[in-house]
Copies of this chain bind each other. A is one copy, B any other.
Amino acid sequence: MDTAERLIAGMQELLWERGYVGTSPRAIQQRADVGQGSMYHHFTGKPDLAGAAIRRSAADLRALASAELDGPGSAFDRIAAYLRRDRDVLRGCRVGRLTQDPDVVATPELRAPLEETLGWLRERLAGLLAEGIAAGEFARDLDPDDVARTLVAVVQGGYVLARAADDPDEFRRAVNGALALLAAARSE
């Protein structure tokens, strides 16, 4: 991995662990094993490097989610597979986490990948729900766009519960509750 790639990968890790304000150029350089001048050769500064790292993390999230969303089975099965995917729950979400950073949401180039990624995820889930409704799997009065937002929120909020309790099981139980409710909305 070359220098620029190591800087991006190191910044991705630190943003995930400590957020934007909590991550210093010094820490990035140590994590990437790169010298002071080298970082400023490849990027204009912290916001520039953060932008590259956030876009990379957004792409990583899409790739991971696609694996389950594009999988086999009914709409319900694929949604369940996505929600129950094996996660390092206590680390939180590499993308959602950044919404808590005031400097990130205040900077359009840094916030845009967050909006696009969570929007993409919501649309994928809404598509599956709409498929399920069309196939008679779910009740026809379900609003796929609203429920898709609910499911994304359960994942993001599940991380919050788990970190507050220092217990990954909180995430799993929040997801179980959501799937139980979704099962109740099956047609018939």
Residues on A facing B (Cβ under 8 Å)? 17-19, 21-22, 92, 96-97, 99-102, 105, 111, 114-115, 118-119, 122, 139, 141-143, 145-161, 163-166, 170, 173-178, 180-182, 184-185
Contacts and interface: CB of A to CB of B under 8 A. Distances in A.
A184 B141 CA distance: 10
A164 B17 CA distance: 18
8 contacts: A18-B21, A92-B99, A99-B164, A118-B161, A153-B158, A153-B178, A180-B185, A181-B181
A92 to B, nearest CB: 7
Contacts of A100: 19, 92, 97, 100, 160, 163
A160 B170 CA distance: 18
